[in-house]
Structure 1
Amino acid sequence: MSLFDQDKSAGRMPVSLITGFLGSGKTTLLNRVLGDPRMARSLVLVNEFGEVGLDHLFMQSVAGDMVLLQSGCVCCTIQGDLDKTLRDIARRRAKGETPPFDRVLLETTGLADPAPILQLLLNTPMISHDYRLDSVVATVDALNGARQLDEHQEAVKQAAVADRLLISKTDLADINTSARLRARLEDLNPGASLFEVVQGEIDPALLFDSGPFDPSGKSDRVQQWLNAEAHDHHHHHEHHDRSRHDAHIGSFCLTFDQPLDWDRFNRWLMAVRASWGDKLLRVKGVLDVVGESQPLVVHGVHRTFHPPTLLARWPDDDRRSRLVFITRDLDRAMVEASWTEMEQT
């Protein structure tokens, strides 16, 4: 009998986070995405209806905090705190008190640190019972993005933890400015897919359904999510001329050739979280564990980790364990040394 739960993605609602600094085009992107017929059964969470320019899409009121949009999407305001709102929506959906929806899109404020939201989705039992984290999409302004990254730690963190990075307003910036920003973002977060967009124009299929858990069973999903090779390749190059904020952010991938003893690995990971939790912006891995024929996914932010979950199958014949770290002020050598020490105990 396995120690770990099987993937139950088919029974949980995917939640995608749309983040980005002030004026970077989050609302423009959201408006454009909601106009796509494939996104019709989406629920959009906003702080206030007036904060998001969706007025022209409103069709009818469903309840005091919920409206149905012309596109078929549902827009809901966050009541009090996100935890309470998500639990309330799950309850109402189960009772048939909401229009049907298949995914949740959450737009953060421009100054928001995405970490608390990711922690809520990853390991809060009353939330993770009904929801699963799908993707983190971050917009970066081609005109002002470099300055915002220089001046605001929040902007750096938003870009560093994203699965998808969108450079907006490229039609307003000159080619060299856009190219420099693109290179900087590739350095900051080498594992993220990066796109340039104008007026939010992008295929939603490129943004969403990008988490490791795939109800349809596509085995390549987890490879794209982890993108271990990008972090590995990134580690072997020197990077100069980084801003004072960028210089604190790093990423690397640890690869384990032999199957891992779970008790030992888990003790080590708990020690890493206890020692350096504040420096772990994001950790994600696919592991080959002794006694398990299926790959085990681990995923965490700071000290909060999703319960380890077994995927249905390995994506290919390579069964080496890979663990990707996106960190602040924590280098690879320290983490590797801690693992070496654990192996010797």
Structure 2
Amino acid sequence: MDTTGTRIPVTLLTGFLGAGKTTVLNHLINDPEAGRIAVIVNEFGAAGLDHDLIEASTEETILMQSGCLCCTFRGDISKTLGALMARKKRNELSFDRIVIETTGIADPAPILQTLVMDDLIAPYFRMDGVVTLADAAAGPATLDAHSEAVSQIAMADRIVVTKTDLVSEDDVAAFETRLADLNGRAKPITADRGAVPVGGLFGISAMREDVSAEDIAAWIGNSSAPQDAANGTAFQARHDHCITSASIEIEAPISANAFDFWLDMLLAFKGPDILRMKGIVHVDDMPWPFVFHGVQHIFDAPVPLKNWSGQDATSRVVVIARNMSQDDLDASLNMLRMKPKEVETTADGMVHETAPMPF
């Protein structure tokens, strides 16, 4: 599979009903800095595209004056992506990236998994980032009532706060504090009546070989959550709908056995409840680090950073999970600190560990 960055980047635009995804899309389509993008929506009628921007249309595709295009999908995103790639190869369409607008109640996980698992599209597309819109006016009540909205926020790489003009500054500040409690690692952006700087939406993922240390830091994010000085894990203080988040930094290279054992056990016991996991890992006896990303039990191929020039050998791992206590999540991450003698693989291929399992 291509990991060099030549695959077409895909941005997932999500957010609960009424958050303003259509307004953001219309601004994006009309922004010359966005370049040639293919926007995939559920239905044209629901998208409410600005008809003044439309140049030509067919039953399944709308071409915009900006050079962008929009197409519909009705339940099978892999077929839609495959059809777009086929038309691109035939020079019938031209685009450099894709933006997928989900329905307001959609869980982003299935689309993320499709981009990894589908053998027909995975070689051609890569996830660039999850961008979640959060309505400053209706958002607090939505988060209280709908676990889907909480998951969308927790899984985001970027959070776009919309409709700030409809509420007071104090209400906006309180809402942003709640968003930070839910996901303190996602860079927040405020939309100006639907307009968002393109640079804040694209180029998010670090899953490419030419990534810089700065890009990785931005992708993993810096949490404002308190940190346990004794074990180096940071955690989120708020628990909305049983969602917790934790991260760990380990300065010395990690034992390969310890990392494999930790990951295998975490997925075996809690795989369906892992919303997202990502990080950069420096492994013993490996000349370069690698970045990885997973959703539930599905992982994209890890990307080795063979051109890594940074002197920092700190591994950083972030886990966002549902129905997992903070103590269990912190204990799981601390398994990464185990020394090789604590995790041993015998001649029969069985892994034995000396530390107790936290689950």
Question: Scaled by the length of structure 1, what TM-score is found?
Answer: 0.89
Across the aligned residues of Structure 1 and Structure 2, the Cα RMSD in angstroms comes to: 2.4
Which of 55, 58, 63 is matched with 1:59 structurally?
55
The amino acid across from 2:221 in the alignment is: N
Counterparts of 1:296 and 1:123 in 2: how far apart (Å)? 20
> Shift of residue 233 of structure 1?
4.4
> Shift of residue 169 of structure 1?
0.5
SS at match of 1:90: helix
Matched, 1:24 2:19: yes
User: Aligned ranges for residues 78-117 of structure 1 at < 5 Å?
Assistant: 78-98=73-93, 100-117=94-111
> Shift of residue 123 of structure 1?
3.5
- The worse-fitting range, judged by mean Cα deviation, of 44-53 and 333-342 is 333-342
**What is the match of residue 271 of structure 1?**
265
The amino acid across from 2:129 in the alignment is: S
The amino acid across from 1:163 in the alignment is: D
> Shift of residue 228 of structure 1?
5.1
Which of 4, 9, 13 is matched with 1:8 structurally?
4
SS at match of 2:38: strand
Q: Which runs of 5+ in 2 are unaligned?
A: 345-352, 355-359
Counterparts of 1:180 and 1:122 in 2: how far apart (Å)? 36
Counterparts of 1:172 and 1:315 in 2: how far apart (Å)? 47
The amino acid across from 2:72 in the alignment is: T
> Shift of residue 154 of structure 1?
0.4
**What is the match of residue 172 of structure 2?**
178
CA contact under 8 A between 2:246 and 2:319: conserved in structure 1?
yes
Counterparts of 1:307 and 1:232 in 2: how far apart (Å)? 31
Counterparts of 1:123 and 1:263 in 2: how far apart (Å)? 25
CA contact under 8 A between 1:6 and 1:311: conserved in structure 2?
no
Question: Scaled by the length of structure 2, what TM-score is found?
Answer: 0.86
Matched, 1:257 2:248: no
Counterparts of 1:77 and 1:136 in 2: how far apart (Å)? 19
**What is the aligned-residue identity percentage?**
39
**What is the match of residue 322 of structure 2?**
328
Higher RCO, 1 or 2 (CA under 8 Å, sep at least 6)?
A: 1
> Shift of residue 238 of structure 1?
7.7
User: Aligned ranges for residues 1-345 of structure 1 at < 5 Å?
Assistant: 7-9=3-5, 11-56=6-51, 57-61=53-57, 63-98=58-93, 100-214=94-208, 217-227=211-221, 230=224, 233=227, 239=237, 242=238, 246=240, 248-314=242-308, 316-330=310-324, 331=326, 332-336=329-333, 339=336, 340=338, 342=343, 344-345=353-354
CA contact under 8 A between 2:19 and 2:133: conserved in structure 1?
yes
The amino acid across from 1:168 in the alignment is: T
Counterparts of 1:139 and 1:316 in 2: how far apart (Å)? 34
> Shift of residue 142 of structure 1?
0.7
The amino acid across from 1:128 in the alignment is: A
